[in-house]
Amino acid sequence: MCWLVDLVIRNAKVVDAHFSGMVDIAIEGGDIGALLSPGTACTAAQELDAQGCIVMPGLIDAHVHLREPGLTHKETIATGTAAAVCGGVTTVLDMPNTAPPVSSPQILKEKGKLVAGQAWADVGFYALLGPGMVHQLAALVEVGCVGFKLFLGPTTGSLPAPDWGELYEAFQILADLGVPVVVHAEDRAWVECGQAQVSNRGVFDYQSFLIQRPKLGEVSATQQICLLAGATGAPIHIAHVTSAEAVEVIGRAKSYGWSVTAETSPMYLFLSDEDYAAVGTAMKVLPPVRGRTDQAALWAALRNGIIDMIATDHAPHTPADKDQDLANAAAGAPGVETLLPLLLDAGRQGRCTLADITRWCAYEPARRFGFPNKGRIQPGGRADLVIIDTNEVWTIDQSQLHSKSCVTPFHGRRGVGKARYAILAGNIVMADGDLVGRPRGNWVKPTQGGRASHAR
């Protein structure tokens, strides 16, 4: 067979959630045209040799704060997506706690316009599920949000949740629309209770932080929201799961057949409260990083499918925002560029396989949020790819990261594997750590009917 294609990747050791093997990947018009036996005759405008590397689907990070508009001193679409592609992430789903928050179709449209010419990766947007928004939900879906974010507890942006009556109504509408609600599951009442307990303590150490944002708050919010999902049929996705107890609740909700998915982040998988003494406020995040038993439970939940995916909660702040005492430091850390090297290191230690990584960081987010043409390497799929040299072992250095916020809790940790090339819709956008060409990312919208329900 011999024809002309745009790009051929030779000797590609492909790893995705369902397939691994050596192929040549022929790319035409931004899509994967064919997977060929190595050496198949085929003329290409451009050719890459992936010998010695592995090729994965471009990763999809379902939880990223790009901070634009309004908070561009912390991050921009340009800097956040540059960091993404340098880390092998070719699609990011951006959170709505920007300024203004994404609370109307008009604001979503305006946000969408910021992508073209700025973004190095594809960007999808969540809308807010806030008070008084029930009548806007269908229109926001029409404009193309990937889902709705519900903040049940206080966090960056101080965005309140609707009351339960209004949430019930919203969930009924979203059940009909089949659009997921991503939930920051911390119960405000328990956070206020924790705050009161901490005030009596005198000191604010890491233990105080854990008291201020108790597990009780996470578990109770997770339980409530799962019950509402069960009662209404609305798809929900629990963001940044941190505790063994929340895993139990999610597992039970799934066993009832409710449409519940969940993510955890590298913060909770690679850090525990014991690290605070060495790492400091760089690891302050909401909900907090908890104990080692929780960390082990999160890994187990990923392996048994109770937690479906890993998303970074890339939440950049300025060094000045972070360089405060624990009580006052901003919560959140960049993560999109360190995701892959941390997971590949875990892989090297036998904690997961390469196929697991692509399932958790590409296939599952694509399925849940409506991108059936992404997250896999298959003919007809989008040619979003990352070519990785897995032999490189290096040390994560915050001064080398591309986010505006370089305050990472993973500074000094071992990273494994370097993303040699990131390819977005058939175009090389990053090579050996350098951005290539112009920002080609698009505002991506879910495919109608492309969201898997995940109900079991």
Binding footprint of ligand DOR on the chain (CB under 6 A): 65, 97, 155-156, 184, 285-286, 315, 331-332
> Cβ 155 to ligand DOR, closest distance in Å?
4
Task: Pick the closer one to Zn ion by CB: 212 or 265.
Answer: 265
Task: Pick the closer one to ligand DOR by CB: 26 or 315.
Answer: 315
> Which run of H or E residues covers position 454?
none
442: left (phi over 0), alpha (psi -120 to 50) or beta: beta
With CB under 5 to 8 Å by kind, the binding choice for 10 among Zn ion, ligand DOR, none is: none
Task: Pick the closer one to ligand DOR by CB: 153 or 426.
Answer: 153
Question: What is d(CA 436, CA 429) in angstroms, rounded to the nearest whole number?
Answer: 5
Strand extents, DSSP E, 340-453: 385-395, 414-424, 427-431, 434-435
Q: Is 167 helix (H, G, I), strand (E, B) or coil?
A: helix
The encoded tokens of residue 182 equal 């991503």
> Cβ 271 to Zn ion, closest distance in Å?
16
With CB under 5 to 8 Å by kind, the binding choice for 155 among ligand DOR, Zn ion, none is: ligand DOR
With CB under 5 to 8 Å by kind, the binding choice for 376 among Zn ion, ligand DOR, none is: none
Strand extents, DSSP E, 243-342: 260-264, 309-310
- Residues that bind Zn ion in the complex, under the rule CB under 5 A: 313
Task: Pick the closer one to Zn ion by CB: 157 or 230.
Answer: 157
Question: What is d(CA 54, CA 341) in angstroms, rounded to the nearest whole number?
Answer: 13
Name residue 163's amino acid: D
Task: Pick the closer one to ligand DOR by CB: 101 or 446.
Answer: 101
Q: What is the DSSP letter of 97?
A: -
With CB under 5 to 8 Å by kind, the binding choice for 454 among ligand DOR, Zn ion, none is: none
- Chain position whose Cβ is nearest to ligand DOR: 332
Task: Pick the closer one to ligand DOR by CB: 239 or 435.
Answer: 239
| Phi, psi for residue 200 in degrees, rounded to 5 | -80, -10
Task: Pick the closer one to ligand DOR by CB: 218 or 364.
Answer: 218
Cα distances (Å, whole numbers) of residue 344 to 327, 352, 392, 414: 33, 8, 10, 10
Question: What is d(CA 194, CA 198) in angstroms, rounded to the nearest whole number?
Answer: 6
Cα-to-chain-centroid distance, residue 409: 17
Name residue 7's amino acid: L
Given the DSSP bridges, would you call strands 4-15 and 20-28 parallel, antiparallel or unpaired?
A: antiparallel
> Cβ 35 to Zn ion, closest distance in Å?
36
Question: What is d(CA 79, CA 354) in angstroms, rounded to the nearest whole number?
Answer: 27
> Cβ 313 to ligand DOR, closest distance in Å?
6
> Cβ 365 to ligand DOR, closest distance in Å?
18
> Cβ 361 to ligand DOR, closest distance in Å?
19
The encoded tokens of residue 165 equal 């009556």
> Cβ 156 to ligand DOR, closest distance in Å?
3
> Which run of H or E residues covers position 251?
helix 244-255
H/E/C letters for each residue in 322-371? HCCCCCCCCCCECCCCCHHHHHHHHHHCCCCCHHHHHHHHHHHHHHHHCC
Give the position of tokens 């066993």.
Answer: 255
Task: Pick the closer one to ligand DOR by CB: 65 or 404.
Answer: 65
Task: Pick the closer one to ligand DOR by CB: 62 or 387.
Answer: 62
The encoded tokens of residue 188 equal 């405000």
Question: What is d(CA 400, CA 231) in angstroms, rounded to the nearest whole number?
Answer: 48
Which residues, at least 6 apart from 434, have a Cβ–Cβ distance to it below 8 Å?
Answer: none
> Cβ 442 to ligand DOR, closest distance in Å?
24
With CB under 5 to 8 Å by kind, the binding choice for 331 among Zn ion, ligand DOR, none is: ligand DOR
> Cβ 285 to ligand DOR, closest distance in Å?
4
